[in-house]
Structure formats: structure tokens, C-alpha cells
Structure 1
């Protein structure tokens, strides 16, 4: 059981860590690009150092080559004068310098190989960085567009929610008004029943009881009286 709990905790920690990475993905990507640019700058500095050191060794080799040429001329001059022992000594010096020259030339060749490899790595890194920056620009543009769309969707959802709430409020007001109207009608009916006016109205409607006198009725009665012969 304890093992399962620990596994669950590790899984939760991994999910949390992944969520943090996902939420900060663009920021992490920008930092990784800056790190790559820093490493590229360091590589260029190292390239400049190698090229400088290579030039120093090349200059040294050129100097040795010049000295060997001078010694060769001196050896020839010694032979011309019959100074063979001196010519041998010069030749031995030339051999030592030639060994040193060969070593310098080998060092220069190694520098050339290292410089060429480093230049290739720098070119590849620059191309990759350029492509990566272009892709990041597209990703950022897409991210901005999606955020804008999300904001519009959220506002639209909020508007729909507000509209629905307003309709509910309007319906509640109508229901309350209808209830108030029904209550007032019921109160008026109860008041009429208590005063008897309701009963009188029903009798009148049935043609029972006193009728309302009208001017036409009075005039008709007077005309009838006038036309009646007097006894």
C-alpha cells in the first residue's frame, strides 16, 4: 500500500511538473534559444582563439623555413671554400630545424582541421537557430491568435450567460406582476361580495329587480300619458 501511495505521489509530482513546463513552454523555449546563442558566441570566441594560435604557429613555421634556407646557403658557401666540417655542422643544424619545422607544420594542419570542424558546427548551429527562430515566431503568432479567439469565445459565452440571466429576470418580473394582478382582482371581488354590489349586479344581469331609469324611458312614458284620452 505504501509503495502505491509513493508511486501516486511521484505521478502527481510528474503531472504537476509537466503542467508547469506546458504553461511556461514559450518562456522556456526563449531561454533555450538564448542559451544556444550564448554557446554559439562561445564557439565563435574559441574559433577566433584557434585561428590566432594557428597563425602564430604558421608564422613560426615560416620563420624556421626562412632560417633553413639561409643555413642551406651557408652550407653551400662552406663547401665552396672547402670548409666541409663547417658545412656538416650547418647541415646538422638544418636537420634539427627541419624537425622543428615539420612539427610546426603538423600543428598548423591540426589547427586547420579543428578550425574547419568548428566552422562547420557554427554554420549548422546558425542555420538551426535561424530556422528555430522562424518557427518560434510562427508559434508565438499562433499562440496570440488562439488567446484572442479564446478571449472572444469567453466574452461571447459571458454575453450569452448575461442574456440568459436577463431573460430569467424578465420572466420573474412578469410572473410577479401577473400574481399581483390576480391578487388585486381577488381582493376587488371579495370587497364587492361583502358590500352586496356583486349580488345586485348579478340580479340586474338576470333582469331581476329595479332597472336603471333612462331618459328615453321617461320621455316615452310622458308621451304615452299625453296621448291617453282624458275621461
Structure 2
């Protein structure tokens, strides 16, 4: 019985953990991406350190090679002068330096191989990180869109319906107001003599109440003719 209860509790804990992770998937993803970015930055520093160490090893190798060449010249000079004991000391130093030189060459080869491998790992990780960052942005946009969809589909839909009904009533009332104003204007024109005269003039009955451009031009030409 205890074993069954223990198994059930573990199952419920796992379900609760998974449900929590699902509810917080986006912020969890963002933090995981930040952690990965920090690890990639640390890997970049490791590559930079390896490159610096390799450059240092190259400098030491060049120094060793130069010392070997100098000792060989001096050893030959000692042999030429018949000082074989001094030449032997130089030969021993040369042998030691040659071993150092060979070890340096191997170290450089190892550094180069490790650096190339690390660079490849970092490049691949950077590509994956960029894909994750794009995916996170898309996930956030999708989450916000889903929130909006839920809002509209739920209480927000009723709000939109109410707003549309309000707008329809507003447009209807504004249309009625315009018609009422037009009707009042017509009624006022019909009862006022000035309004009747204006209506008759606009209909071409009698002299127009306002001068047209043609009338003005005719009057100006008449003045010119009179002056001549």
C-alpha cells in the first residue's frame, strides 16, 4: 500500500512540475537562452585564451630556434679553434634546445587542433542560440496573440459587440439629426420671404441675387467701352 501511495505522489509531483513548466514555458525558455548565451561567452573566452597561449608558444619556439642557430655557429667556431670541450658544452645545450623545440612544435599542433575544434563548437552553438532567440521571439508573439484571441473570444467579444451597437446607434442618431436640420431649414425658407426669393433666384426666376464672373467681366468691358 505504501509503495502505491509513494508512486502516486511521485506521479502527481511530476504532473504538477510539468504543468508548472508548461504555464511558464516562455520565461523558462528565455532564462535557458540567457544561460546558454553565458556558456557560449565563456567558451569564446576559452578559445581566446587558447589562441593567446598558442601565440606565446610560437614566440618561445622562435626564440629556441634562434638560440640553436646561434649555438651552432659558436660551436663551429670553438671546433675551428680546437676547443672541443667548449664545443661539446655547446652541443649539449643544442641537444637540450632541440628537444624543447620539438616539444614546442607538438604543443603548437595540439593547440591548433584544439582551437579549431573549439571554434567549430562555438560556431555551431552560436547558430543554435540564434535559432533559439528567433524561436523565443516567435513564441512571445504567439503567446500575446493567443491572449488577445482568448480576450476577444471571451468577455472581449461582448465588449466589441456592444461597441458596434453603440456606433450603429450613434450613426443613426447623427443621420436623423442631419435630416431634421435639413427639414427645419426648408421649413424656414418656405416661411420667410427672403428664403422664397432666394429659392426663386436659384431656379432662374428673375434676376440673380449674386453676380457671376460673366456679369463682372461684362461690367468691366462696358466701362472700358464707355471710357473710349
**TM-score using structure 1 length:** 0.64
Deviations 1:40-71 (A, max 9, x none): 11111111221222222221111111000001
Aligned residues between the structures = 162
- Measure how far apart 1:129 and its partner are: 0.5
Inter-partner Cα distance in structure 1 for 2:2 and 2:83? 97
The residue that corresponds to 2:144 in the other structure is 144
Match of 1:78 in 2: 78
Please tell me whether residue 6 in structure 1 is matched to residue 6 in structure 2.
yes
- Provide the residue aligned with 2:52 in structure 1: 52
Partner Cα distance (2:101, 2:49) in 1: 22
| 1:43 maps to 2:59 | no
Change (3 A) 1:158 1:9: farther
Aligned match of 2:203: none
Q: CA deviation at 1:19?
A: 0.8
Q: Which moved more, 1:75-84 or 1:137-146?
A: 75-84
Unaligned runs of 5+ in 1: 163-231
Alignment match, 1:154: 154
Give the Cα–Cα distance (whole angstroms) in 2 for the partners of residues 121 and 9 of structure 1.
Answer: 41
Name the counterpart of 1:90. Answer: 90
Q: Segments of 4+ in structure 1 off by > 6 A? A: none
Separation in 2, partners of 1:103, 1:127: 36
Q: What is the Cα-based RMSD across aligned positions, in Å?
A: 2.1
The structural deviation recorded for 1:122 is 0.8
Q: Quote the Cα distance in structure 1 between the aligned partners of 2:15 and 2:86.
A: 85
Alpha-carbon distance in structure 1 between the residues aligned to 2:63 and 2:21: 59
CA distance in 2, matches of 1:84, 1:8: 89
Change (3 A) 1:157 1:6: farther
User: How do residues 155-174 of structure 1 correspond to structure 2 at under 5 angstroms?
Assistant: 155=155
C-alpha distance after superposition, 1:127-170 (max 9, x if no partner): 1101111122222211111111111001256569x9xxxxxxxx
- CA apart distance, 1:5: 2.6
- Superposed CA deviations along residues 8-46 of structure 1, whole A, max 9, x for unmatched, are 222221111111000010111000000001101111111
